[in-house]
Chains A and B, each alone.
Chain A
Amino acid sequence: MTTLASPVRAPVTISRRYLAAGTFIMLGLIDIFVFGFLAHSGDARFALSLPGASPHLPTIHVPGALTAYVLGAISIGVGILRAVVDLPRWGKRLSIAAVLLCFLLSLLAWADAGNSVGPLQVVDLLQGTLTASIPLVLGALAGLLGERSGVINIAIEGQLLTGAFVAAAVASVTGGVWLGLIGGSLAGGLVGALLAIFAIMFLVDQIIVGVVLNVIALGLTNYLYQRVMSPYAATFNAGNTFSTLKIPVLGNIPIIGPVFFDANIFLYITYALILVIQIALFRTRWGLRVRAVGEHPVAADTVGIRVRWTRYRNVILGGLVAGIGGAYLTVGSVGFFTSDISSGFGYIALAAMIFGRWTPLGSVAAALLFGFSFQLQTELSILRVPVSSFILLMAPYVATIIAVAGLVGRVRPPAADGQPYVKA
Chain B
Amino acid sequence: MTDRNEAEPSAEPYVATTTQDTGTPTPDQPDGRRPLTGNMIIQAVTEGHSVVITILAVFVALVIGAVLIVASDPAVLRAWDSFGYAPGTALSATWNSVAAAYSALFEGAIFAPGTISAAFHGGSIAAIFYPLSLTAFEATPLILTGLSVALAFRAGMFNIGAAGQWIGGALVATWLGYAVNLPIVLHAVVCIIGAFIGGAVIGWIVGEIKARTGAHEVILTIMMNYVMYNFLSFLVTSQKLMQAPGQTNAVAPNINSNAFLPHVGGPPPQVGVGFLIALAAAAATAWLLSRSTLGFQFRAVGASPSAARSAGISVERVWVLAFLHAGGLAGLSASTIVQGQTSPLTTTSYGTYGFDGITVALLGRARPLGVVLAGLLFGALNAGGTVMEAATGVPSDVTNVIEALIVLFVAAPPLIRMLFRLRRGGGAGPQAVASKGWSG
Q: Are A350 and B430 in contact (CB under 8 A)?
A: no
Q: Are A209 and B408 in contact (CB under 8 A)?
A: yes
Q: Are A207 and B218 in contact (CB under 8 A)?
A: yes
Q: Are B226 and A223 in contact (CB under 8 A)?
A: no
Q: Are A205 and B216 in contact (CB under 8 A)?
A: no
Q: Are A219 and B404 in contact (CB under 8 A)?
A: yes
Residues of chain B in range 371-425 having any CB-CB distance to chain A below 8 Å: 394-395, 397-401, 403-405, 407-408, 411-412, 414-415
Residues of chain B in range 33-76 having any CB-CB distance to chain A below 8 Å: 33-38, 40-41, 44-45, 68, 72
| Interface stretch of the complex, out of A124-132, A196-204, A257-265, A323-331 | A196-204
Task: Decide yes or no: A205 and B358 within 8 Å by CB, A216-B405, A420-B28 being known contacts.
Answer: no
Encoded as 1 (CB less than 8 Å from any B CB) or 0, chain A from 396 to 424 comes to 01101100111000010001101111111
Task: Decide yes or no: A203 and B27 within 8 Å by CB, A212-B407, A215-B400, A220-B401 being known contacts.
Answer: yes
Please name the residue on chain A nearest to B73 by beta carbon: A227
Please name the residue on chain B nearest to A218 by beta carbon: B400
Task: Decide yes or no: A215 and B355 within 8 Å by CB, A223-B398, A227-B394 being known contacts.
Answer: yes
CB distance from B430 to the nearest CB of A (A): 5
B158 at the interface (CB under 8 A from A): yes
B199 at the interface (CB under 8 A from A): no
In this complex, which of B68, B216, B306, B362 has the most chain A Cβ atoms within 10 angstroms of its Cβ? B216
A50 at the interface (CB under 8 A from B): no
| Interface stretch of the complex, out of A67-75, A92-100, A385-393 | A385-393
Please name the residue on chain A nearest to B401 by beta carbon: A219
Q: Are A1 and B213 in contact (CB under 8 A)?
A: no
Interface size class of A (residues with CB under 8 A): 35 or more
| Interface stretch of the complex, out of B134-142, B169-177, B190-198, B229-237 | B229-237
A9 at the interface (CB under 8 A from B): yes
CA separation between A202 and B432, bound complex, in Å?
Answer: 10
Chain A hits for B214, CB < 8 A: 5-6, 8-10, 406
Please name the residue on chain B nearest to A418 by beta carbon: B37
Chain A hits for B72, CB < 8 A: 223-224, 227-228
CA separation between A420 and B316, bound complex, in Å?
Answer: 27
A354 at the interface (CB under 8 A from B): yes
A-B contact count (CB 8 A): 214
Task: Decide yes or no: A404 and B215 within 8 Å by CB, A3-B37, A198-B408, A227-B394 being known contacts.
Answer: yes
In this complex, which of A8, A205, A207, A406 has the most chain B Cβ atoms within 10 angstroms of its Cβ? A8
CA separation between A216 and B231, bound complex, in Å?
Answer: 28
CB distance from B406 to the nearest CB of A (A): 10
Please name the residue on chain B nearest to A354 by beta carbon: B219
B436 at the interface (CB under 8 A from A): no
CA separation between A223 and B398, bound complex, in Å?
Answer: 6
B305 at the interface (CB under 8 A from A): yes
Contact for B215 among A209, A215, A405, A419, CB less than 8 A? A405
CA separation between A401 and B160, bound complex, in Å?
Answer: 15
A344 at the interface (CB under 8 A from B): yes
Please name the residue on chain B nearest to A353 by beta carbon: B219
| Interface stretch of the complex, out of B113-121, B123-131, B204-212, B282-290 | B204-212
CB distance from B438 to the nearest CB of A (A): 11
Q: Are B231 and A10 in contact (CB under 8 A)?
A: no
Sample (29) of A-B pairs whose CB atoms are under 8 Å apart: A1-B41, A2-B218, A3-B216, A198-B411, A202-B415, A204-B44, A207-B158, A208-B411, A214-B355, A215-B355, A219-B400, A220-B397, A223-B401, A227-B394, A228-B72, A298-B30, A347-B222, A350-B219, A351-B219, A388-B234, A388-B238, A390-B230, A398-B227, A404-B219, A419-B28, A419-B30, A419-B32, A422-B431, A424-B30
Task: Report B's interface with A, CB cutoff 8 A.
Answer: 27-28, 30-38, 40-41, 44-45, 68, 72, 158, 160, 209-216, 218-220, 222-224, 226-227, 230-231, 233-234, 237-238, 305-306, 309, 315-316, 355, 358-359, 362, 394-395, 397-401, 403-405, 407-408, 411-412, 414-415, 430-431, 433-434
* Beyond A10-B211, A215-B407, A418-B37, 16 additional pairs, beta carbon < 8 A: A1-B44, A2-B41, A198-B408, A201-B430, A205-B45, A208-B44, A209-B408, A212-B411, A219-B403, A223-B68, A350-B222, A401-B227, A404-B213, A405-B209, A406-B215, A419-B32
